[in-house]
Structures are given as C-alpha cells and as structure tokens.
C-alpha cells in the first residue's frame, strides 16, 4: 500500500488577512519536494508555493504566475543551487513553451514520479494496491509525437502573424523553429510553416494548423474565412514540397485538398491499417501505442471462442487486434462518426466478426441489444472523466476479466473503488509513458472477479 502523505502544510486561519502576492514578483525559496505534476513545492511566509521548473532540494528564484489565498503558483526564473539530478533541457524553448514541463528531470525520475502518482491515487481514493506492479511501458524520450497543434494568431497592432506553441501559463505564442518531441518527418514542416503562412494574401484568416504523421505526413489548415485560390495554391505547393497531404477546414469537417487522399496509421504486429481523419482521436506516441496494444492483449488473454466487449472503442485501436483473436468482438462508441470509421476499418482489414454500435454509455447497458449474450472479457478505454456509470454496471454483465486503460489516474482510482465493491480484484497495474517530458500519466489496470 502506498504510504499516505500528511498533506500540504497551511497556516491556520484567523487574524488579519495577509496581502496577496502580486503577479510577476520574484521570490527566493527552498524546494522541499515535488507535487504529483512535477512542480516543486516550497513554503514561505505562511504560503505554499508550487514552482514549475524546480526540483527537490534546490534553491530557486521564482516568479509569481498567480496566487489564490495561501497557494502561490510560480515559475523558476533562476536556479541558485541546483539539484545533482538536474539535466539540461533538450529543447531551447523548454523554459517558456507550455508543451513540456519536465525536460529538466531525468527520464528515470519522470517515470518514478508517474508511478508514485498512480500508486497514491489508488491508495488514497480506493485503498487499493495491485497484486503485481508492471514495469512501465516506455518508448523514445524524444521524437515520439506524431501529431501537434500549432497556434496561430494575427496581431492587429503589429500587423504580424504569430505562429508557434502557447507559452506556459499564458496565451502568448512562442515562435518555435524546432520541437525535439515531434517525429522527424514533421520537423521540416514545422520549421518552414511560419514563412508560408505569413506569405498568404490574408494570413489573418488562419485559425490554427495541425500536423500529422502516419502513412504519410499531413497538414490541416483551419481557416475562419474563405481562402483565395492563390492562398490555397501556396499551401498546396508547400505540402507538395514537403511530401504531405493538405487538409482544409472551414465551418464544416476537415476535407482533403485531393479527395482521393487518405490518412492512416499501421499496427504492424497485426498487419492492420487504420484510416482516420484530422480531428479523430489517435494516440500521439506510436511506439508506446504498439506496446500498449500488445500488453492489453497479453493481460486480457482472450481465447478463440470468447465474445469480448470493447467500450469507448474509437477507431478500433484495440478492437481490431482483439477481433483477430476471438469468436466475436462487440465494440461501442458514443460518437457515430467514429463508429462508422471503425466499421470501415474492420471491413478494410477483412474482420467480419467485429460489430460496432453507437450508444450513450451513461445509460443502462443491460437494456442494449448488443449487451445480450454475455462476455468473457471487457476492455475500457474511456476519456479523462472516466467510466463510473459503466463500471457500476459491469458486474451485471457477468464479466470475469476487465482491462481498464486510463488517461487519468484520479478517475481510474475512483472507478477502481466501484469495481472493488462489486467483487473485482486488482491483479496488475502499471503506467504507460505516452507523453515523455510531461507529467501526464496514462495507466493500465487488470481486474479479475473470482
């Protein structure tokens, strides 16, 4: 069982209210430990400080970003006494860009931080510890991200188009010439993007840009006004130069410049290809996604004669590999467009035993026609708010094995408590390092009902 922390130290209430700490003020303090999100925690003048960019044991000069009562949020401006664990950031923009918050921390320490966060949430919210902790699923520390959203804003006063990533704790756009966490095929596109956007006749018409890497590279340009033929030609020439598809999105759904174009990604271990459109959810880290799917199949251990249920199935990232191993795969998703895409992916890969349904998963499951007949196992891959309404009904389906893939340890822990109450045991759990250099934690948990 994870050791429970005594909590943060706050001064008792009473007496006169201390003046608020002004934004922008610099303050020197000692960092005692790390919060679950990787920020350093320090205490000064009766306040608790959360300092991004700081490590335990360091003396720092921090700049205030915001203050609420006795809590101050700040950023480390200068490291006065550095921790022996501190390392140089791989990216020149790391101190200002809002994308990566932990580049100053060794990767092994990042993994330990994420492991501790998962363990603490399971202990605190569900009084639970798995029978077995799995080793973290990891991939490359850098050059892993196969999609990115580029912020674009027209500065009316300066008559200038700002292109880049959002600054940490700010709406400011930081011009980015390179991003080490992007996969290599997207690097030259990012480096040249700002120039082509600024050369447009009406650059103020651009809302944002998204980059994708899969079966090929793709550039989605979201525009708030109709683009001229000349501007579309410029964008298409840019994409041709970089061997990328051009997708455009006005008031409707994203559309390829060439209707024959299709974007997809591979699950090579299963000889599967999954088509998707910009705006569809896909995992950004292909190596960890491949390992995640393999581990899910290993833990769930489906048998050839099983009927298996995949809830929140999306495009079929888990459903299609599962369908290759079982008699029947039933997959359910709340968004009809995703259901249609998953059906097309199953058909394109020759999987006739996978059946897809659209359903509001907050409603009773047992009443649905697809829920009749029982299931040997269930896989859940819900969004950040978890699947509490679903897990409340899992026991009624007679499921013996349940695999929960989570992008939020807090809701995983909450839902685990409900599964525990229904007689399930947490057999295995472990983190998935889907977003290295950040504090974002993904996890996988296997529950078994005796």
The per-residue pLDDT for range 90-139, each reduced to its tens digit, is: 999 998 888 899 999 999 999 999 999 999 999 999 999 999 999 999 99
Give me the DSSP letters along 243-271: TEEEEEESSSS-EESSTT--EEEEEGGGT
Confidence (pLDDT) at 17: 62
Q: Given this model, what pLDDT does residue 6 score? A: 46
pLDDT band at 3 (very low <50, low <70, confident <90, very high): very low
Helix (H, G, I), strand (E, B) or coil at 446: strand
Q: What is the pTM of this model?
A: 0.92
Query: What is the percentage of the chain residues whose pLDDT exceeds 70?
Result: 96
Task: Give the Cα separation of 68 and 11 in Å (integer).
Answer: 14
CA-nearest of 380, 273, 396 to 333 is 380
Identify the band that residue 183 occupies on the pLDDT scale cut at 50, 70 and 90: very high
Active-site residue among 91, 100, 313, 407?
407
* Residue 16: pLDDT band with limits 50, 70, 90: low
**For the ranges 3-7, 256-260, 379-383, 389-393, which has the lowest average pLDDT?**
3-7
Calpha distance 340→253 (Å, rounded): 15
- Tell me which residue of 410, 420, 364 sits closest to 384, measured CA to CA: 410
**3-state SS assignment for residue 160:** strand
DSSP 100-168: -S-TTS-HHHHHHHHHHHHHHHHHHHH----SEEPPPB---SSS-B-EEEEEEEEETTTTEEEEEEEBT
Give CA 246 to chain center in angstroms.
25
Lowest mean pLDDT among 3-12, 39-48, 203-212: 3-12
**Strand locations in 82-192, DSSP E?**
132-133, 147-155, 160-166, 173-175
Top-confidence residue, 382 or 98: 382
Using CA of residue 233, residue 237, residue 238, residue 243, what is the dihedral sign? positive
What does the alpha-carbon distance between residue 295 and residue 383 come to, in Å, rounded to a whole number?
A: 20
Is-contact 381 313, C-beta < 8 A?
yes
Predicted confidence at residue 396, as pLDDT, reads 85
pLDDT at 179: 94
β-partners of residue 42 are 49
Determine the 3-state secondary structure of 391 from DSSP. helix
Torsion of CA 241, 181, 199, 254, to 10 degrees: 80
> What would the mean pLDDT of 314-329 be, rounded to a whole number?
98
| Average pLDDT score over the chain | 93
Averaged pLDDT for residues 360-386: 90
Domains of the chain, start order: 22-86 (2.40.50.140), 111-140+283-449 (3.40.50.150), 147-263 (2.40.50.1070)
407 is a catalytic site residue: yes
Q: Which of 138, 139, 121 is nearest to 130 (CA)?
A: 121
Position 11 pLDDT exceeds 60: no
28, two tokens: 């020197």
**pLDDT value, residue 198:** 95
pLDDT (0 to 100) of residue 188:
96
* Residue 7, pLDDT above cutoff 70: no
- Coil/strand/helix, residue 154: strand
pLDDT by residue (tens digit) across 391-419?
Answer: 998 988 889 999 999 999 999 999 999 99
Write the pLDDT tens digit of every residue in 220-278.
999 999 999 999 999 999 999 999 999 999 999 999 999 999 999 999 999 999 999 99
Tokens encoding 301: 């251990």
What pLDDT sits at residue 359? 93
Phi and psi, residue 30, nearest 5°: -95, 140
* Model pLDDT, residue 18: 60
Predicted pLDDT of residue 441:
96
């Amino acid at each position: 069982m994870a050791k429970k922390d005594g909590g943060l130290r706050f001064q008792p209430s009473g007496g006169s209210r201390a003046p608020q700490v002004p934004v922008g003020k610099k303050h020197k303090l000692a960092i005692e430990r790390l919060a679950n999100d990787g920020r350093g925690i320090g205490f000064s003048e009766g306040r608790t400080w959360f300092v991004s960019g700081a490590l335990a044991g360091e003396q720092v000069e921090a700049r205030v970003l915001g203050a609420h009562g006795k809590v101050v949020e700040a950023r480390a401006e200068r490291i006065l006494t550095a921790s022996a664990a501190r390392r140089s950031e791989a990216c020149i923009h790391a101190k200002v860009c809002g994308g990566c918050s932990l580049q100053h921390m060794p990767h092994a320490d990042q993994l330990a931080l994420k492991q501790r966060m998962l363990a603490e949430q399971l202990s605190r919210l569900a009084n639970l510890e798995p029978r077995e902790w799995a080793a973290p699923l990891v991939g490359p520390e850098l050059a892993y991200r196969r999609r990115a959203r580029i912020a674009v804003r027209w500065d009316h006063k300066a008559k200038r188009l700002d292109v880049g990533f959002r600054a940490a704790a700010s709406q400011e756009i930081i011009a980015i010439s390179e991003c080490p966490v992007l996969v290599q095929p997207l690097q030259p596109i990012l480096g040249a993007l700002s120039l082509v956007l600024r050369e447009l006749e009406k650059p103020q018409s651009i809302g944002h840009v998204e980059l994708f890497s899969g079966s090929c590279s793709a550039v989605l340009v979201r525009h708030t006004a109709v683009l001229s033929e000349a501007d579309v030609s410029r964008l298409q020439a840019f994409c041709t130069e970089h061997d990328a598809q051009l997708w455009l999105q006005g008031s409707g759904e994203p559309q390829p410049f060439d209707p024959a174009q299709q974007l997809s990604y591979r699950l090579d271990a299963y000889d599967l290809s999954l088509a998707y459109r910009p705006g569809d959810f896909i995992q950004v880290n292909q190596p960890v996604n491949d390992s995640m799917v393999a581990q899910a199949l290993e833990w769930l251990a489906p048998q050839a004669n099983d009927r298996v249920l995949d809830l929140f199935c999306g495009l079929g990232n888990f459903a299609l590999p599962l369908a290759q191993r079982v008699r029947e795969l039933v997959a359910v998703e709340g968004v009809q467009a995703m259901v249609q895409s998953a059906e097309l992916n199953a058909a394109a890969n020759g999987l006739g035993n996978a059946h897809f349904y659209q359903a509001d998963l907050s409603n009773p499951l047992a009443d649905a026609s697809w829920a009749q007949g029982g299931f040997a196992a269930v896989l859940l891959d819900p969004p950040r708010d978890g699947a509490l309404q679903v897990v409340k009904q899992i026991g009624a389906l007679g499921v013996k094995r349940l695999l929960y893939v989570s992008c939020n340890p807090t809701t995983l822990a909450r839902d685990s408590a409900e599964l525990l109450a229904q007689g399930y045991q947490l057999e295995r759990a472990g983190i998935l390092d889907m977003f290295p250099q950040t504090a974002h934690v993904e996890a996988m948990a296997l529950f078994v009902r005796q």
